[in-house]
Amino acid sequence: MEDIVLDRKGVIYAVTVVHLSSPSGIKAPYAYGYVNIPANKIRILAPFTGASPNSFHAGMEVELVLDTIRTDSKGQHIIGYKFKPLS
């Protein structure tokens, strides 16, 4: 294994919309799926943000962002990576 710097731009390979809140506290509805990162020749599973969950589709160009995944029971924001539509 080796560390690499991932390119921030990708293309959605597949997407699904979840209509039930997760036990970990992610509120429904939310979208996630696989994103191809052509520059690195890899595919990543990630949540999506920045648009209606139903607006994401295969072939859509997206970019990596840091965003709140959920808020814990103490009100602390849990930060992680997501992909949003490329503007």
Reading the block at residue 61, the tokens are 């160009």
Backbone angles phi, psi at 60, to 5 degrees: -70, 135
pLDDT tens digit sequence for 5-31: 999 999 999 999 999 998 887 889 999
Give the Cα separation of 87 and 75 in Å (integer): 30
* Residue given tokens 């996630």 in the structure block: 32
pLDDT at 87 over 90: no
Q: Which of 15, 68, 71, 63 is nearest to 39 (CA)?
A: 63
Query: For the chain, how many residues are written?
Result: 87
- Delimit the domains of the chain by residue range: 9-85
Radius of gyration of the chain (CA): 13
Mean pLDDT of the chain: 94
Query: Residue 2 has what pLDDT?
Result: 86
Higher pLDDT, 9 or 87: 9
Query: Residue 77 has what pLDDT?
Result: 93
Give the Cα separation of 18 and 62 in Å (integer): 19
pLDDT tens digit sequence for 32-50: 999 999 999 999 999 999 9
- Which residue type sits at 43? R
Query: Residue 74 has what pLDDT?
Result: 93
pTM of the model: 0.88
